[in-house]
Amino acid sequence: MATVLVAGGTGEAGAAVVAELLGRGHDVRVLSRRGGSPIAGAQPAPADLISGSGLAEALTGVEVVVDTTDGKSRRARPVLTTGAANLLAAAGAAHVTRMVLLSIVNVDRGPLAYYRAKSEQERRYRDSGLDTRIVRATQFHSFVPMLCGPAAQVGLLPAFTDTAFQPIDVRDVARALADAADAPPDEPGRAGVPQIVGGPEILPMHDLVREWKRAAGVRGVVAPIRLPGGLGRFWRAGENLVPDHRDGTITFTQWLAERTAG
């Protein structure tokens, strides 16, 4: 089994990847600034992606890196660019044999600065010269509750009109990332070509919001709202969907039932 470093391993996707890799018998290190690990059996690897401090030590003896880092806020966004550059340079120096990156479906078409930063992260991986696998996923099951949660505090549950999502469970994404980590080398020229993984169902946002409201016992009015701007156009055009890739095995309904059980 390989020694695998999971960057961002304390986050939602990263923690699922750590659990999946441990279940496959790998030695797993969790890279984070504070050096914590959310799962017993994984080794903490404190390092700072922005400054590069600690990366050489964290990568010593590592064969595979899985990068699940995120940077939705402006302050955190350099993790996707400067952080990627530092991680790739350190991985090259440490003779890491495989890099795996979690990304977003159709990220190169996205209108937000966040999407541009993720696209730049992908580019840096493709241009690194290292054996790279990129896994692009649809939104996680937690995405719609995350959007609606703050507004629910004032009794409003926004449901963007003409908008659908294809939510996927992070455990399904983790399996795809672990499979990419374990895969044999591709044919020449194939490294860096994104693999697409999507959720098992495509559902209107209105349906997702209503189902979450019932399951979570949230009060509020489900309000149809037309989302303006580039992101609204992006979602209404279905650019966040991959109908030909219904790879997930856990539905939104099943995920909600797990979260509200007991």
Calpha distance 223→147 (Å, rounded):
13
State the pTM of this model: 0.94
Instruction: Please give the Cα distance from 242 to 125 (Å, whole number).
Output: 23
CA-to-CA distance for 257 and 262, rounded, in angstroms?
9
pLDDT for the residue 116: 95
Each residue's pLDDT, cut to its tens digit, for the chain (262 residues) gives 899 999 999 999 999 999 999 999 999 999 988 766 668 899 999 999 999 999 999 999 999 999 999 988 888 899 999 999 999 999 999 999 999 999 999 999 999 999 999 999 999 999 999 999 999 999 999 999 999 989 888 889 999 999 999 999 999 999 999 999 999 876 555 556 899 999 999 999 999 999 999 999 998 999 999 999 999 999 999 999 999 999 999 999 999 999 887 5
- Residue 75: per-residue pLDDT: 86
Cα-Cα-Cα-Cα torsion 153, 227, 194, 256, nearest 10 degrees, comes to 30
Q: What is the DSSP string of the chain?
A: --EEEEETTTSHHHHHHHHHHHHTT-EEEEEESS---SSTTPEEEE--TTT-TTHHHHHTT--EEEE-----STTTTHHHHHHHHHHHHHHHHTT--EEEEEEETTGGG--SHHHHHHHHHHHHHHTTSS-EEEEEE--BTTHHHHHHHHHHTTTEEEEETT-EE--B-HHHHHHHHHHHHHPPPPSTT-TTPPEEE--S--EEHHHHHHHHHHHHT--SEEEEE---HHHHHHHHTTTT--TT-----S-HHHHHHHHH--
Set out the domains of the chain in order of their start, with CATH numbers: 3-137+170-197 (3.40.50.720)
